[in-house]
Amino acid sequence: MSNTFSYDAIIIGSGAAGLGLALTLPDHLQIAVFSKSNMSEGSTYYAQGGISAVLDSADSHESHRIDTMRAGAGLCHEDIVELVVSNGKASIDWLMANNVEFSTKKNTQSKRKLHLTKEGGHSYRRVVHADDSTGQAVQIALNDQVVNRSNIKIFEHHNIIDLVTSYDDKTGKKKVIGCYVLDTKKDQIFSIKAPCITLATGGASKVYLYTSNPDVSTGDGIAMAWRAGCRVANMEFMQFHPTCLFHPEAKSFLISEAVRGEGGLLLLPDGTRFMPNFDKRAELAPRDIVARAIDHEMKRLGIPSVFLDISHRTAKFTKSHFPMLHKKCLNFGFDMTKEPLPVVPAAHYTCGGVMTNQNGETDIAGLYAIGETAFTGLHGANRMASNSILECLVFAKQASLHITKFLQHANKSPDIKPWDDSKVISSDEAIVVSHNWAELRQFMWDYVGIVRTTKRLQRAKHRINLLKQEIEEYYSNFHVTSDFLELRNLVTTAELIIESALLRKESRGLHYTLDYPKIDDKHFKKDTVLTP
Ligand code: FAD
Ligand code: SIN
């Protein structure tokens, strides 16, 4: 079955990046927004801590810039950091104009002003938040705006399979002309045309067995862009959040860094504090340092978790700052006002991604990438807490300005060849897909995790090669399903992570290898760029 729709702009992803772009593009454009699940299901909805922006009179762009670059361990692109931090206040103002309600407190003149919290790596309180459910407040407000815009059509439960490209008659340059889509409710595939497509598909943390991310974070945008011919950079820098709840049913539920920002301490089972032994910033050191310290202590002592304790603050304080966390932890049997929480690190954020410039443009004309799926140069070797949603919004705006101009001169897309599934059959072997999912995530956790070695990376590479063969075979013979498409994308993403990690023969930021434990500025103070 095949039919083709046509739009001015297609946006793949309905998180902060995708909806931020949809709402900033001019309303004379016909826009299609795609979401693999329901519109809210993405990392944005689950964001807890907040959004960083310089709002305190003692704080400065200079300080935010220095903190971001320090966390990024020498690899942040200074011009991009400058662009993002200088747009912090404008981004918060834009969210408030779109009805996002942030937490406030009374100042000395009894006027309400935004409450700012603190997180790892930040020298000042500069994290704007909506209690401990910032992402939910942002996602719901943006959903409400988008559904009221008659020029925006939302396609929920539609999984984009691949991009379709062609060559420009005049320039000879590769350009995007559309994509193939699986309607997962109807189990039908169709094509859709547009001269401009934006990947806003989020990260790839589902490549690991334990992750704070929702199920949709399967690196689809990165894999699609790679298959289409885009360069990808810095994939070795996968961020592990230090503190996810250790409980068999909690699915690595995140305990916000803001808990440490408000005084939470990391403890060993005997109650000893250990972070001061690793970094003078202790619990508020950047994430790579805290996650590695926890991993070290867990392995050294053979313990299943460490503990995060905020019980020294009053119950009133904890309940009012962290109402969602308090309630959720109670459901799992822990009262954080009275006792320490067992916590472990889990995969959390993809610092690398599809290479873009300051306008969100990729290597293919008309194809943009924004949000977690993109590599802009902001995060370097380690993202600082709460810089991600800010990056989504700043690049949504940058891309919107560029796309608006681009579309003034773009030609209509030519027709797309219909999806051909005449030679494939339905698989009676769904077990192949679920087995390979589990295997991939397990060996990525064991061999390509917080601490790496060349031998472990090579082992993982060998397994990837076997999985790739099976996937190729499956793709040529069977009808595709959502699970299969995600597995295919995860395997591609995993391969990019492993290849990048093998190329970086030093330890920097989130990439730590026992074979090259030191930073090597002479040879490796540069991005790892992979070209298809
Ligand atoms: P997402 O919000 O992940 O959205 C991705 C979208 O793409 C979804 O709509 C999905 O359905 C769609 N999609 C993906 N693939 C396809 C496909 N093939 N076809 C169709 N649609 C597709 N950052 C901060 O700055 N502050 C925080 O406090 C914070 N807390 C966090 C807490 C948690 C638990 C997590 C997981 C992340 C947190 N982060 C935080 C990181 C931040 O939330 C994300 O980096 C950011 O929200 C990503 O936004 P996005 O729009 O790029 O992607
Ligand atoms: C958190 O609340 O700890 C997550 C913040 C982030 O990932 O930026």
Q: Which of the listed residues 44, 237, 484 should we mutate to test ligand 1's pocket, taking the one with most ligand atoms within 8 A of CB?
A: 44
Ligand index nearest the alpha carbon of residue 225: 1
> Containing H/E element for 160?
strand 158-167
Q: Is 48 in the pocket of ligand 1 (CB under 6 A)?
A: yes
Amino acid at 455: K
pLDDT for 1 equals: 42
Q: Note whether 368 and 333 are same-domain residues.
A: no
Q: Which of the listed residues 245, 389, 390 should we mutate to test ligand 1's pocket, taking the one with most ligand atoms within 8 A of CB?
A: 389
pLDDT for 152 equals: 98
How far, in Å, is the centroid of ligand 1 from the Cα of 433?
24
pTM of the model: 0.97
Q: Is 500 in the pocket of ligand 2 (CB under 6 A)?
A: no
Q: Is 388 in the pocket of ligand 2 (CB under 6 A)?
A: yes
Q: Is 49 in the pocket of ligand 2 (CB under 6 A)?
A: yes
* 346, 370, 386 - which closes a domain: 346
Q: Note whether 357 and 334 are same-domain residues.
A: no
* Cα radius of gyration rounded to whole Å, the chain: 22
Count of domains forming the chain: 3
Q: Note whether 256 and 324 are same-domain residues.
A: yes
Distance between CA 275 and CA 103 in Å, rounded? 30
Each residue of 455-514: pLDDT tens digit?
Answer: 999 999 999 999 999 888 888 888 889 999 999 999 999 999 999 999 999 999 999 999
Q: Is residue 176 part of a domain?
A: no
Ligand index nearest the alpha carbon of residue 33: 1
At which residue do the structure tokens 């406030």 appear?
A: 104
Q: Is 135 in the pocket of ligand 1 (CB under 6 A)?
A: yes
* 295, 330, 346 - which closes a domain: 346
pLDDT for 251 equals: 87
Residues 518, 496, 381: CA angle, nearest 5 degrees: 40
Q: Is residue 205 part of a domain?
A: no
| Sign of the CA dihedral running 294, 298, 301, 307 | positive
List alpha helices for 153-244, DSSP H.
Answer: 220-228
Residue spans of the chain under pLDDT 70: 1-3, 428
Q: Which of the listed residues 45, 46, 48 should we mutate to test ligand 2's pocket, taking the one with most ligand atoms within 8 A of CB?
A: 48
Q: Which atom of ligand 1 is nearest to the CA of 19?
A: 51
Q: Is residue 221 part of a domain?
A: no
Q: Note whether 356 and 442 are same-domain residues.
A: no
By annotation, the residues acting in catalysis are 287
How far, in Å, is the centroid of ligand 2 from the Cα of 46?
10
Distance between CA 320 and CA 334 in Å, rounded? 17
Q: Note whether 302 and 376 are same-domain residues.
A: no
Q: Note whether 467 and 500 are same-domain residues.
A: yes
**Tell me, what CATH number does 481's domain have?**
1.20.58.100
Which residue range is the domain that position 250 belongs to? 243-346
pLDDT for 2 equals: 46
Q: Is residue 414 part of a domain?
A: no
Q: Is 403 in the pocket of ligand 1 (CB under 6 A)?
A: no
Q: Is residue 141 part of a domain?
A: yes
- For the beta carbon of residue 162, count every other beta carbon within 10 angstroms: 17
**Tell me, what CATH number does 79's domain have?**
3.50.50.60
Q: Which atom of ligand 2 is nearest to the CA of 255?
A: 3
For residues 168-200, b (16+ Cβ closer than 10 Å) or e, as one string? eeeeeebbbbbbbbbebeeeebbbbbbbbbbbb
Ligand index nearest the alpha carbon of residue 158: 1
Measuring from atom 38 of ligand 1, which residue has the nearest CA? Answer: 47
Q: Is residue 262 part of a domain?
A: yes
How far, in Å, is the centroid of ligand 2 from the Cα of 73?
19
How far, in Å, is the centroid of ligand 2 from the Cα of 364?
32
Q: Note whether 497 and 397 are same-domain residues.
A: no
> Containing H/E element for 260?
helix 257-261
Q: Is residue 447 part of a domain?
A: yes
Q: Is 87 in the pocket of ligand 2 (CB under 6 A)?
A: no
Q: Note whether 97 and 82 are same-domain residues.
A: yes
Q: Note whether 380 and 485 are same-domain residues.
A: no
Q: Note whether 336 and 370 are same-domain residues.
A: no
Distance between CA 363 and CA 165 in Å, rounded? 12
At which residue do the structure tokens 């601490």 appear?
A: 451
Q: Is 131 in the pocket of ligand 2 (CB under 6 A)?
A: no
Q: Which atom of ligand 1 is nearest to the CA of 202?
A: 53
Q: Is 88 in the pocket of ligand 1 (CB under 6 A)?
A: no
* 346, 368, 388 - which closes a domain: 346
How far, in Å, is the centroid of ligand 2 from the Cα of 205?
14
Q: Is 449 in the pocket of ligand 2 (CB under 6 A)?
A: no
Q: Which of the listed residues 43, 138, 183, 386 should we mutate to test ligand 1's pocket, taking the one with most ligand atoms within 8 A of CB?
A: 43
Question: Beta strands 196-199 and 112-114: pairing type?
Answer: unpaired
Q: Is 239 in the pocket of ligand 2 (CB under 6 A)?
A: no
pLDDT for 3 equals: 62
Q: Give the DSSP letter string of 391-450.
A: HHHHHHHHHHHHHHHHHHHPPPPPP-PPP--TT-B--S-HHHHHHHHHHHHHHHHHHSSS
Q: Note whether 334 and 366 are same-domain residues.
A: no
Q: What is the mean pLDDT of the chain?
A: 95
pLDDT for 352 equals: 98
Q: Is residue 171 part of a domain?
A: no
Q: Note whether 139 and 49 are same-domain residues.
A: yes
Q: Which residues are within 8 A (CB) of 400 and not within 5 positions of it... i.e. 6 or more apart?
A: 21, 24, 25
Ligand index nearest the alpha carbon of residue 372: 1
